[in-house]
Amino acid sequence: MAGQKTACLCACFILFTVAIEATLSGLYIDNGVDQTVIHHSMTRHERMVVEHEILELLGLGERPRRAGAPPLDRSAPSFLLDVYKQLAEEHEQARPTRSSEMALSGDEQHAIDESDLIMTFQSKRHHLGALRHGHGRHVWFEVTGAPGDASALMTAELRLHQAPTHTEDPTALYTVVAHRVISVDNMGSLQMEKVAAVNTSAGAEGWLELNVTSALGAWLSSPADNRGFFITLHPHSQPERHVKPEEIGLEEPRGVIVEGKQPFLVAFFKNGPKLGGADAGARRKREARRWRSHGYSENYLRNPLTDTSHWTTRSCEIQTLYVSFKDLEWQDWIIAPDGYGAFYCSGECNFPLNAHKNATNHAIVQTLVHLLNPTKVPKPSCAPIKLSPISVLYYTDDSNVILRKYKNMVVKSCGCH
């Protein structure tokens, strides 16, 4: 943040770390003379409460549990990692630094911009996995962990990778069809419903995209009906003739799956967590009760970031605040970022309110009235006037990944209100 007047900014970091040996968990601040000191050393209970509150802010009841670091070589997390980097570059107004193998269509780009939450589902083995109905391929996804319901679903795509193959006629056209499996009888016969189709050539290479919004919507409403998709392939001009998917690289011979090329499902939801608004007051009351239930004093509920009694009085300005996910030891399920610069506003709104203080007209009038009657009318408050969002990319389990956008998380500028 080199452009944020670093010479006058107060360095303030939230470090939630395990208290071992000389390491202390707590809130570290600048004491005003270029020294970083600990403002409050957190107990184990306090750390647990803070962790719970951040999880609630992220829309999670509890942290996902995983055995190790996220494997980013799979297709599902790789796709969303590319989307995350694109969003990060847009927020920083930077030009893209890399091209993605997961080329995005115009419809996908629109869905990314409009959605609050994007989730990918990696294909998994299923008891129908060995099923062969003519020449086709069965793929199945665990969708019960989706945080949104059918009404929140904007669109969903099934992505299949087509590998290069040696064929006599690389220009030959084929149609790839995705069917929703309705039922399977005792003889292995399928009842299927066609949901999407896409054309490709025998010599093409890359990702095929099929719109399967209707199928995912049905499964979100009735998870027990999820029997997956059955993929069939036929020459474009001969819909009655089916060929094996491996003939044009839609499946490796003998069913071998290449790492990073697994089929996956991506769903876009307009269903972000509610931050602030009508729920904010109730959430703050719950937080206060929770802190008091753990025996914390009212003094600790006072925000140490806005308590400037231990600093030299300064005018209202933006201050540095960094929240570290890594220090919370969440790196086993949060893919990105390691943390984020939240910033905050602090300082006095004293007369006169110059233009650089970004004061509202009301704040100017309130300042004048405060000068006349300081015991009745308080000074204006130093508060954010511009905020920006962040995106967080995380695993929900060993395969499914979520990219969630959180509004109003980063202070961009401060002013007197």
Domain boundary among 269, 303, 323: 269
Is the domain of 257 the same as that of 280?
no
Residue 251 domain boundaries: 117-269
Q: Give a yes or no: residue 111 inside a domain.
A: no
Domains held by the chain: number: 2
Q: Give a yes or no: residue 89 inside a domain.
A: no
Domain boundary among 219, 249, 269: 269
Q: Give a yes or no: residue 92 inside a domain.
A: no
Is the domain of 125 the same as that of 164?
yes
Is the domain of 246 the same as that of 362?
no
* Consecutive H or E run containing 78: helix 75-91
**Amino acid type, 253:** P
Is the domain of 136 the same as that of 260?
yes
Please name the residue ranges forming H helices in 102-242.
106-114, 213-221
Q: Give a yes or no: residue 305 inside a domain.
A: yes
Q: What is the pLDDT of residue 151?
A: 86
Is the domain of 380 the same as that of 282?
yes
Q: Give a yes or no: residue 101 inside a domain.
A: no
Is the domain of 292 the same as that of 240?
no
Q: What is the pLDDT of residue 158?
A: 96
Domain boundary among 269, 284, 313: 269
Measure the CA–CA gap between 162 and 177, rounded to whole angstroms. 14
250 torsion bin: left (phi>0), alpha (psi -120 to 50), beta (else): alpha
Is the domain of 217 the same as that of 246?
yes
243 phi/psi in degrees, rounded to 5 = -125, 165
Q: What is the pLDDT of residue 120?
A: 92
Is the domain of 122 the same as that of 258?
yes
Q: What are 387's strand-pairing partners? A: 411
Residues 6+ apart with CB under 8 A from 387: 407, 408, 409, 410, 411, 412
Q: Give a yes or no: residue 80 inside a domain.
A: no
Q: Give a yes or no: residue 215 inside a domain.
A: yes
Asked whether the beta carbons of 139 and 263 are under 8 A apart, the reply is yes
DSSP 317-371: EEE--EEESTTTT-TTTEEE-SEEE--EEESB-PSS--GGGT--HHHHHHHHHHH
Measure the CA–CA gap between 242 and 275, rounded to whole angstroms. 51
Q: What angle do CA 112, 206, 336 make, to 5 degrees?
A: 40
Is the domain of 172 the same as that of 284?
no
Is the domain of 357 the same as that of 377?
yes
Per-residue tens of pLDDT for the chain, all 417 residues: 444 443 343 434 444 433 333 344 555 555 566 655 555 566 777 777 878 888 887 777 777 776 666 567 788 888 899 899 888 877 665 444 444 555 677 788 888 889 999 999 988 877 665 555 557 888 999 988 787 778 889 999 999 999 888 777 888 999 999 999 998 877 667 788 999 999 999 989 999 999 999 999 999 999 999 999 999 999 988 888 888 888 888 876 555 556 678 899 999 998 654 444 345 455 555 555 554 554 544 444 444 444 544 444 678 888 888 888 877 778 788 888 988 888 889 888 888 876 667 788 888 888 888 888 888 888 899 999 999 989 999 888 766 889 999 888 899 999 888
CATH assignment of the domain containing 391:
2.10.90.10
Q: What is the pLDDT of residue 8?
A: 40
Going by C-alpha positions, the residue among 226, 326, 253 that lies closest to residue 244 is 253
Is the domain of 264 the same as that of 130?
yes
Q: Give a yes or no: residue 373 inside a domain.
A: yes
CATH assignment of the domain containing 233:
2.60.120.970
Asked whether the beta carbons of 416 and 317 are under 8 A apart, the reply is no
Q: How many CB atoms lie within 10 A of CB 317?
A: 21
Per-residue burial over 83-98, b if 16 or more Cβ lie within 10 Å, else e, is: bbbbbeeeeeeeeeee
Q: Is the dihedral of CA 182, 184, 185, 188 positive or negative?
A: positive
DSSP 210-246: EE-HHHHHHHHH-GGG---EEEEEEETT-TT----GG
Is the domain of 188 the same as that of 258?
yes
